[in-house]
Amino acid sequence: MIVVGSGALHLRDELAALGGEIGGIEIRKFPDGEKYVRVLGSAEEVTVVSSTFFPQDEHIVELLLIGDALRERGVENLRVVIPYFGYSRQDRVIREGEPISVRAVMRALGLYYDELYVFDLHNPETLRFFPGKAVNLSPAGAIADYFAERLGEGVVLAPDKGAFGRARAVAEKLGLEYSHFEKKRISPTEVEMRPADVDIEGRNVLIVDDIISTGGTMIKAANLLRGMGAEKVFVAATHGVFAEGAVERVSQAVDELAVTNTIPTPVSRISIVPKIVRL
Ligand code: R5P
Protein backbone atom coordinates (compact mmCIF):
# COMPACT_ATOMS: atom_id res chain seq x y z
CA MET A 1 0.00 0.00 0.00
CA ILE A 2 1.20 3.51 -0.84
CA VAL A 3 0.29 6.49 1.32
CA VAL A 4 0.67 9.87 -0.37
CA GLY A 5 1.59 12.86 1.78
CA SER A 6 1.04 16.55 0.99
CA GLY A 7 4.46 16.75 -0.65
CA ALA A 8 3.52 14.20 -3.33
CA LEU A 9 -0.06 15.08 -4.23
CA HIS A 10 1.20 15.97 -7.71
CA LEU A 11 2.40 12.35 -8.13
CA ARG A 12 -0.76 10.68 -6.81
CA ASP A 13 -2.53 9.99 -10.12
CA GLU A 14 0.55 8.60 -11.76
CA LEU A 15 1.35 6.44 -8.71
CA ALA A 16 -2.19 5.04 -8.87
CA ALA A 17 -2.09 4.53 -12.66
CA LEU A 18 1.19 2.65 -12.52
CA GLY A 19 -0.25 0.05 -10.23
CA GLY A 20 0.19 1.11 -6.64
CA GLU A 21 -2.72 0.65 -4.23
CA ILE A 22 -3.20 4.11 -2.71
CA GLY A 23 -4.23 4.10 0.94
CA GLY A 24 -6.71 6.65 2.22
CA ILE A 25 -5.47 9.52 4.35
CA GLU A 26 -7.06 12.59 5.84
CA ILE A 27 -4.79 15.60 6.24
CA ARG A 28 -5.96 18.97 7.47
CA LYS A 29 -5.01 21.69 9.89
CA PHE A 30 -6.33 22.57 13.31
CA PRO A 31 -7.44 26.21 13.68
CA ASP A 32 -4.13 27.03 15.41
CA GLY A 33 -2.12 25.76 12.41
CA GLU A 34 -1.09 22.36 13.80
CA LYS A 35 -1.50 19.43 11.45
CA TYR A 36 -4.09 16.69 11.78
CA VAL A 37 -3.44 13.35 10.10
CA ARG A 38 -5.53 10.19 10.02
CA VAL A 39 -4.59 7.12 8.00
CA LEU A 40 -7.62 5.21 6.80
CA GLY A 41 -6.08 1.94 5.73
CA SER A 42 -3.46 -0.49 6.89
CA ALA A 43 -1.27 -3.26 5.51
CA GLU A 44 1.72 -5.24 6.64
CA GLU A 45 3.96 -3.21 4.33
CA VAL A 46 3.40 0.44 3.61
CA THR A 47 5.36 2.95 1.51
CA VAL A 48 4.80 6.61 2.33
CA VAL A 49 5.68 9.05 -0.47
CA SER A 50 6.18 12.78 0.12
CA SER A 51 8.78 15.35 -0.89
CA THR A 52 9.87 17.90 1.68
CA PHE A 53 10.01 21.09 -0.39
CA PHE A 54 8.50 24.37 0.88
CA PRO A 55 6.95 24.47 3.48
CA GLN A 56 9.71 22.05 4.43
CA ASP A 57 9.09 21.94 8.20
CA GLU A 58 5.42 21.22 7.71
CA HIS A 59 6.09 18.40 5.26
CA ILE A 60 8.64 16.88 7.64
CA VAL A 61 6.34 17.01 10.69
CA GLU A 62 3.58 15.48 8.59
CA LEU A 63 5.85 12.54 7.71
CA LEU A 64 6.49 11.97 11.43
CA LEU A 65 2.76 12.04 12.17
CA ILE A 66 1.99 9.61 9.31
CA GLY A 67 4.77 7.30 10.53
CA ASP A 68 3.41 7.39 14.07
CA ALA A 69 -0.14 6.74 12.89
CA LEU A 70 0.90 3.78 10.73
CA ARG A 71 2.94 2.20 13.53
CA GLU A 72 -0.06 2.70 15.82
CA ARG A 73 -2.10 0.70 13.31
CA GLY A 74 0.45 -2.11 13.52
CA VAL A 75 2.30 -1.67 10.21
CA GLU A 76 5.42 -3.81 10.40
CA ASN A 77 7.49 -2.70 7.42
CA LEU A 78 7.44 1.00 6.84
CA ARG A 79 9.26 2.67 3.98
CA VAL A 80 9.42 6.33 3.16
CA VAL A 81 10.21 7.73 -0.30
CA ILE A 82 11.24 11.38 -0.14
CA PRO A 83 11.90 12.35 -3.78
CA TYR A 84 13.25 15.79 -2.77
CA PHE A 85 14.83 15.78 0.67
CA GLY A 86 14.71 19.26 2.22
CA TYR A 87 17.64 20.35 4.41
CA SER A 88 19.98 18.13 2.37
CA ARG A 89 22.34 21.03 1.61
CA GLN A 90 22.95 21.76 5.30
CA ASP A 91 25.34 18.83 5.64
CA ARG A 92 28.21 20.31 7.64
CA VAL A 93 29.00 22.75 10.42
CA ILE A 94 30.42 25.91 8.91
CA ARG A 95 30.20 28.17 11.95
CA GLU A 96 30.49 26.85 15.49
CA GLY A 97 27.09 26.30 17.07
CA GLU A 98 25.32 25.17 13.90
CA PRO A 99 23.52 21.82 13.56
CA ILE A 100 24.04 19.29 10.79
CA SER A 101 20.46 19.79 9.72
CA VAL A 102 20.24 16.87 7.29
CA ARG A 103 21.34 14.58 10.16
CA ALA A 104 18.68 15.94 12.50
CA VAL A 105 15.94 15.24 9.95
CA MET A 106 17.22 11.78 9.07
CA ARG A 107 17.46 10.75 12.71
CA ALA A 108 13.92 11.96 13.42
CA LEU A 109 12.54 10.02 10.43
CA GLY A 110 14.50 6.98 11.59
CA LEU A 111 12.33 6.82 14.73
CA TYR A 112 9.44 5.61 12.55
CA TYR A 113 10.66 4.40 9.18
CA ASP A 114 12.67 1.23 8.46
CA GLU A 115 13.79 2.26 4.98
CA LEU A 116 14.43 5.61 3.32
CA TYR A 117 14.58 6.22 -0.46
CA VAL A 118 15.56 9.60 -1.89
CA PHE A 119 16.41 10.90 -5.36
CA ASP A 120 19.79 12.42 -6.11
CA LEU A 121 20.63 13.56 -2.60
CA HIS A 122 22.89 16.61 -2.58
CA ASN A 123 25.54 14.74 -0.56
CA PRO A 124 24.85 10.97 -0.70
CA GLU A 125 27.29 10.36 2.16
CA THR A 126 24.76 11.91 4.54
CA LEU A 127 22.52 8.84 4.10
CA ARG A 128 24.64 7.26 6.82
CA PHE A 129 22.77 9.43 9.33
CA PHE A 130 19.57 7.45 8.72
CA PRO A 131 19.57 4.52 11.16
CA GLY A 132 17.91 2.01 8.79
CA LYS A 133 18.39 1.08 5.13
CA ALA A 134 18.87 4.23 3.06
CA VAL A 135 19.06 4.37 -0.74
CA ASN A 136 19.91 7.21 -3.14
CA LEU A 137 18.05 6.72 -6.44
CA SER A 138 19.31 8.20 -9.70
CA PRO A 139 17.02 9.91 -12.22
CA ALA A 140 19.74 9.62 -14.91
CA GLY A 141 17.77 7.11 -17.03
CA ALA A 142 14.65 9.27 -17.10
CA ILE A 143 16.66 12.43 -17.92
CA ALA A 144 18.52 10.57 -20.68
CA ASP A 145 15.26 9.27 -22.22
CA TYR A 146 13.74 12.75 -22.21
CA PHE A 147 16.67 14.44 -23.95
CA ALA A 148 17.87 11.59 -26.21
CA GLU A 149 16.30 12.84 -29.46
CA ARG A 150 16.77 16.53 -28.74
CA LEU A 151 20.45 16.04 -28.02
CA GLY A 152 21.37 13.79 -30.96
CA GLU A 153 25.14 13.30 -31.04
CA GLY A 154 25.66 16.09 -28.49
CA VAL A 155 27.67 16.38 -25.29
CA VAL A 156 26.60 16.15 -21.63
CA LEU A 157 28.25 18.58 -19.22
CA ALA A 158 28.24 19.12 -15.47
CA PRO A 159 28.38 22.78 -14.36
CA ASP A 160 31.18 21.93 -11.92
CA LYS A 161 33.40 19.02 -10.92
CA GLY A 162 31.07 18.08 -8.05
CA ALA A 163 28.26 17.24 -10.48
CA PHE A 164 30.53 15.26 -12.83
CA GLY A 165 29.04 11.89 -11.78
CA ARG A 166 25.57 13.10 -12.71
CA ALA A 167 26.63 14.14 -16.21
CA ARG A 168 28.52 10.88 -16.67
CA ALA A 169 25.49 8.79 -15.62
CA VAL A 170 23.23 10.52 -18.18
CA ALA A 171 25.88 10.42 -20.94
CA GLU A 172 26.59 6.74 -20.39
CA LYS A 173 22.90 5.90 -20.84
CA LEU A 174 23.04 7.74 -24.20
CA GLY A 175 26.50 6.63 -25.28
CA LEU A 176 27.62 10.26 -25.54
CA GLU A 177 30.72 12.23 -24.62
CA TYR A 178 30.70 13.99 -21.24
CA SER A 179 32.75 16.46 -19.27
CA HIS A 180 32.46 19.21 -16.66
CA PHE A 181 33.18 22.89 -16.40
CA GLU A 182 36.42 23.77 -14.72
CA LYS A 183 37.40 27.00 -13.11
CA LYS A 184 40.81 28.46 -13.87
CA ARG A 185 42.11 31.50 -12.03
CA ILE A 186 43.64 33.82 -14.62
CA SER A 187 44.28 36.81 -12.32
CA PRO A 188 43.67 37.65 -8.64
CA THR A 189 40.23 39.00 -9.61
CA GLU A 190 39.29 36.89 -12.63
CA VAL A 191 38.19 33.26 -12.83
CA GLU A 192 37.72 31.67 -16.23
CA MET A 193 35.12 28.93 -16.51
CA ARG A 194 35.23 26.53 -19.47
CA PRO A 195 34.36 22.93 -20.29
CA ALA A 196 37.32 20.64 -19.68
CA ASP A 197 38.72 18.53 -22.55
CA VAL A 198 35.79 18.71 -24.92
CA ASP A 199 35.03 20.61 -28.12
CA ILE A 200 31.50 21.94 -28.11
CA GLU A 201 31.53 24.14 -31.24
CA GLY A 202 28.54 23.35 -33.45
CA ARG A 203 27.27 20.65 -31.08
CA ASN A 204 24.20 20.35 -28.90
CA VAL A 205 24.92 20.39 -25.17
CA LEU A 206 22.93 19.19 -22.15
CA ILE A 207 23.99 20.60 -18.77
CA VAL A 208 22.97 18.43 -15.80
CA ASP A 209 22.91 19.33 -12.09
CA ASP A 210 21.13 18.13 -8.94
CA ILE A 211 19.43 21.39 -7.99
CA ILE A 212 18.52 24.64 -9.72
CA SER A 213 17.84 27.36 -7.19
CA THR A 214 18.47 30.92 -8.42
CA GLY A 215 19.46 29.55 -11.82
CA GLY A 216 22.70 31.54 -11.70
CA THR A 217 24.94 28.49 -12.21
CA MET A 218 23.04 27.24 -15.26
CA ILE A 219 22.65 30.67 -16.88
CA LYS A 220 26.37 31.34 -16.56
CA ALA A 221 27.23 27.95 -18.05
CA ALA A 222 24.70 28.36 -20.88
CA ASN A 223 25.97 31.82 -21.82
CA LEU A 224 29.54 30.57 -21.92
CA LEU A 225 28.55 27.68 -24.18
CA ARG A 226 26.72 30.00 -26.56
CA GLY A 227 29.78 32.24 -26.70
CA MET A 228 31.86 29.18 -27.61
CA GLY A 229 29.60 28.30 -30.52
CA ALA A 230 27.40 25.54 -29.06
CA GLU A 231 24.40 24.72 -31.29
CA LYS A 232 21.51 24.08 -28.86
CA VAL A 233 21.84 24.32 -25.08
CA PHE A 234 19.54 22.18 -22.92
CA VAL A 235 19.39 22.22 -19.13
CA ALA A 236 18.22 19.43 -16.81
CA ALA A 237 18.19 19.02 -13.06
CA THR A 238 16.69 16.56 -10.63
CA HIS A 239 15.19 19.13 -8.26
CA GLY A 240 13.62 22.37 -9.45
CA VAL A 241 13.85 24.33 -6.20
CA PHE A 242 13.55 27.55 -8.24
CA ALA A 243 13.74 30.86 -6.44
CA GLU A 244 11.27 33.53 -7.59
CA GLY A 245 11.63 34.15 -11.34
CA ALA A 246 14.27 31.45 -11.86
CA VAL A 247 12.18 29.30 -14.24
CA GLU A 248 11.70 32.26 -16.57
CA ARG A 249 15.32 33.42 -16.33
CA VAL A 250 16.78 29.99 -17.11
CA SER A 251 14.17 29.27 -19.82
CA GLN A 252 15.10 32.49 -21.61
CA ALA A 253 18.79 31.61 -21.52
CA VAL A 254 18.52 28.10 -23.00
CA ASP A 255 16.72 26.13 -25.72
CA GLU A 256 14.89 23.96 -23.20
CA LEU A 257 14.80 23.57 -19.44
CA ALA A 258 13.31 20.40 -17.92
CA VAL A 259 13.50 19.01 -14.39
CA THR A 260 12.05 15.91 -12.77
CA ASN A 261 8.84 15.95 -10.78
CA THR A 262 10.41 15.48 -7.34
CA ILE A 263 9.01 19.01 -6.84
CA PRO A 264 5.97 20.27 -8.79
CA THR A 265 7.02 23.13 -11.10
CA PRO A 266 5.93 24.36 -14.56
CA VAL A 267 8.91 22.52 -16.09
CA SER A 268 8.70 19.22 -14.14
CA ARG A 269 8.47 17.21 -17.35
CA ILE A 270 10.52 14.15 -16.38
CA SER A 271 8.82 11.62 -14.14
CA ILE A 272 10.47 9.66 -11.36
CA VAL A 273 7.25 7.76 -10.57
CA PRO A 274 8.12 4.66 -12.68
CA LYS A 275 11.20 4.26 -10.51
CA ILE A 276 9.19 4.58 -7.30
CA VAL A 277 6.68 1.90 -8.27
CA ARG A 278 9.51 -0.47 -9.14
CA LEU A 279 10.97 -0.30 -5.61
C1 R5P B 1 25.34 23.32 -5.55
O2 R5P B 1 26.14 22.73 -4.88
C3 R5P B 1 24.26 22.62 -6.30
O4 R5P B 1 24.72 21.42 -6.84
C5 R5P B 1 23.74 23.52 -7.42
O6 R5P B 1 24.77 23.72 -8.36
C7 R5P B 1 23.27 24.82 -6.87
O8 R5P B 1 22.35 24.62 -5.83
C9 R5P B 1 22.65 25.67 -7.96
O10 R5P B 1 22.28 26.90 -7.41
P11 R5P B 1 21.86 28.12 -8.30
O12 R5P B 1 20.74 27.69 -9.21
O13 R5P B 1 21.39 29.15 -7.28
O14 R5P B 1 23.05 28.61 -9.07
| Same domain, yes or no: 250 and 201 | yes
Amino acid at site 193: M
Which of 155, 145, 242, 240 lies closest to 201 in space, CA to CA?
155
Q: Which of 80, 106, 137 is the last residue of a domain?
A: 137
In this structure, are 154 and 254 located in the same domain? Answer: yes
The answer to whether the CB of 120 is under 6 A from ligand 1 is no
- Rounded Cα distance between 275 and 156, Å, is 22
CB neighbour list of residue 212: distance below 8 Å, 6 or more residues apart:
218, 235, 237, 239, 240, 241, 242, 246, 250, 257, 259
Question: Is 273 in contact with 244 (CB distance < 8 Å)?
Answer: no
pLDDT at position 186 is: 76
pLDDT along the chain (279 residues), means of 10: 97 92 96 97 93 97 98 96 97 96 98 98 97 98 97 95 94 96 77 81 96 93 93 98 96 98 98 96
Instruction: Evaluate: CB of 210 within 6 angstroms of ligand 1.
Output: yes
Query: Within this chain, do residues 74 and 201 fall inside the same structural domain, yes or no?
Result: no
Compute, in angstroms, the gap from residue 186 CA to the centroid of ligand 1. 23
From the CB of 214, is ligand 1 less than 6 Å away?
yes
How far is the centre of ligand 1, averaged over its atoms, from the C-alpha of 46 (Å)? 34
Kindly state whether residues 121 and 226 are assigned to the same domain. no
pLDDT at position 193 is: 79
**211 CB within 6 A, ligand 1:** yes
How far apart (Å, rounded) are the C-alpha atoms in residues 270 and 262? Answer: 9
Q: What is the pLDDT of residue 188?
A: 75
Which CATH number characterizes residue 253's domain?
Answer: 3.40.50.2020
Domain extent, residue 191, equals: 140-271
In a shared domain, residues 59 and 166: no
Mutate to test the pocket of ligand 1, among 88, 92, 213 (most ligand atoms within 8 A of CB): 213
* 183 belongs to the catalytic site: yes
What is the number of structural domains in the chain?
2
Give me the pLDDT at residue 50, please: 98
Determine the atom of ligand 1 nearest the C-alpha atom of 217.
14
Which of 137, 167, 200 is the endpoint of a domain?
Answer: 137
Of all protein residues, whose CA lies closest to atom 8 belonging to ligand 1? Answer: 211
Q: Ligand 1: distance of its center to the CA of 83 in Å?
A: 18
**151 and 128 belong to one structural domain:** no
pLDDT at res. 197: 81
Strands (E), 94-214: 115-119, 133-137, 155-158, 177-187, 190-195, 205-212
Q: Are residues 84 and 158 in the same domain?
A: no
Task: Clarify whether residues 11 and 46 are in a common domain.
Answer: yes
